[in-house]
Structure 1
Amino acid sequence: MSKGTVLVVSSSADTLELQGGKRAEIGVYLNELVVPAMALVAGGYEIVLATPNGKKPVIDAVSRDASHFNNDAAAFQKALDFFDSYPAMVNPVTLRTTVEQGLDSYAAVFVPGGHAPIVDLAQDEDMGTVLRHFHDTGKPTALLCHGPIALIAAVPQMKAFRAALDRDDMSGAKAVGGGWPYAGYKMTIFSNDEDKVAEEQLLHGRMKFYVGDALQAAGGIVTSNTKVFDPHLTEDRELITGQNPRSDHLVANALLAALER
């Protein structure tokens, strides 16, 4: 018998606009999506995958590598098979559908990263509705790597806030970021130092804004590890956040523990 259903909300974006009009191919990281999802299924939970447009997430090509699975070729293949064939992965629904059908039946929500959530989830009104529901009901809300940037979708003046971010105007963002449900929460996200490495080695351009700065502008208390790319987890009330791809198992375990509580 199922222990309950967890809503997995993923971006389906595949390109990120950088400063100067440049664009980079991006997506969702395979391990960030499937490691927690597989842990939930193994723990007795059903999952529903939702994206803003109902399309299957695009996996970032950089993440299609066994190095993200401790160089375990079998674990990497298992992850690929899960993404390619597990029913919830193959048949995502739209975020709007989950909102219209009601969120009360979901026990928790999980958002994986990769740079993709910056593009759509962070400025999706339905994402804001989902987050406010889980915040108001105190149900576990877990986000990984760049996934926590989706939290700004719950800023009441989200459009103005996002416009300020795209101008890299953090003071302007602070001015319109009031009323955020997660103000004063401790949280983590892919750090500025980590994104500077990504800019140089993967994106080949400068991002419009750094995601940690965005969360701080909204009122979050952002924590980071002492060494880049080392795993790091932060928990505060219903909120569970992991800093980077190597935090996948930490987030999965913390979410399962919170569900059991």
Structure 2
Amino acid sequence: MNTKGKILVVGSSADMFELKDGRKEPMGYYLNELAIPSQAAVDAGYEVVLATPNGKQPAVDQHSVVADHFGGSEEALQKALDFVATNAGMRNPRSIRSVIDEGLDNYAGVFVPGGHPPMVDLMQDPDLGEVLRHFHATSKPTALLCHGPIAVTAAMPKAREFRQALVNDDMAAARRAAEGWQYAGYRMTIFSNDEEQYVEENIMGGSKVPFYVVTALEIAGGKVETKGVFEAYVVEDRELITGQNPPSDHGIADVFVKALDRHVAAKAAR
């Protein structure tokens, strides 16, 4: 089947989240955040390839498998479930390392959905860091949604030290670890502190996350913008496209596909 190009969809291998008080919380990607942009890319003529750090199927957050995240439509919910279950690229995930070894020049863009897992492994994954540095250097569309944008810290030379400093509440150490970050100075958005506090109170039983992702990106040098609680918002700055929250799924899908089409057209014209 002829396609416009391949899109790398990066999922997490983490399915548990250690909160500030040491309690473990099951977690996974948000179904609409994975399915809506990925389906939009397929509908626009692209092939999607799902990859995770360990090459296994990522876990879905059960809180997201409800019609509320699909405009109240049970039909749209089922369509998303069917897409993840039947699309060849979604059914057969790769390891990020195997994708790199095969060649990143084969990919037109990269997309990272949210849910809390990117806060655990993706933001400090060295293979994802290599992927992001390639897409940054080649100005290929790089889209991340909800908590997904925290994964851009993987491009740092000291990504693991950065995350550990955040967990330790050592912001001076986090700033030092972030030096040389490729996305410093970029406009971006991510799941807001107010939204995270809503989740802490209503889903996590009052337990706190180990750090807030807005604060993390600001410390790293990102120019973070957020709108109201669960208000859709998408920011595009150069190759980087970020969406704030689950309701931003259709918005980021539209911006991402347009960026992909521009990139592919420009490449063909060269």
Asked whether the two chains share a fold, i.e. TM above 0.5, the reply is yes
State the distance in 2 between where 1:164 and 1:208 align: 11
Q: Which moved more, 1:172-181 or 1:229-238?
A: 172-181
Q: Secondary structure at the match of 1:104?
A: helix
Structure 2: gaps spanning 5 or more residues: 263-270
Matches within 5 A, 1:9-28: 9-28=10-29
* Aligned-pair CA distance for 1:12: 2.7
Deviations 1:24-62 (A, max 9, x none): 111000000000110011100011000111111111010
Q: 2:257 aligns to what? A: 256
Q: 2:9 aligns to what? A: 8
Deviations 1:116-172 (A, max 9, x none): 111110110001000000000000000000000100111111122111011122222
Matches within 5 A, 1:230-245: 230-245=231-246
Question: Which one of 209, 212, 220 corresponds to residue 211 of structure 2?
Answer: 209
Equivalent residues, number: 260
Q: 1:223 aligns to what? A: 225
* Aligned-pair CA distance for 1:86: 1.4
Q: Secondary structure at the match of 2:104?
A: coil
What's the TM-score once normalised by structure 2's chain length?
A: 0.95
> Taking every aligned residue pair, what percent have the same amino acid on both sides?
55
Contact kept, 8 Å, 1:155 with 1:218, in 2: the verdict is: no
What's the TM-score once normalised by structure 1's chain length?
A: 0.98
- Match of 1:52, as an amino acid? P
Q: 1:35 aligns to what? A: 36
State the distance in 1 between where 2:159 and 2:255 align: 29
Q: Secondary structure at the match of 1:175?
A: helix
Matches within 5 A, 1:1-261: 1-204=2-205, 205-225=207-227, 227-261=228-262
Q: Secondary structure at the match of 2:21?
A: helix
Contact kept, 8 Å, 1:16 with 1:116, in 2: the verdict is: yes
Deviations 1:48-98 (A, max 9, x none): 000111111111010000000000111111101111121111110001111
State the distance in 1 between where 2:74 and 2:252 align: 22
Structure 1: gaps spanning 5 or more residues: none
Contact kept, 8 Å, 1:12 with 1:28, in 2: the verdict is: no
Contact kept, 8 Å, 2:48 with 2:90, in 1: the verdict is: no
* Aligned-pair CA distance for 1:182: 0.1
Contact kept, 8 Å, 1:184 with 1:220, in 2: the verdict is: yes
- Match of 1:197, as an amino acid? Y
Q: Secondary structure at the match of 2:214?
A: helix
* Aligned-pair CA distance for 1:203: 2.0
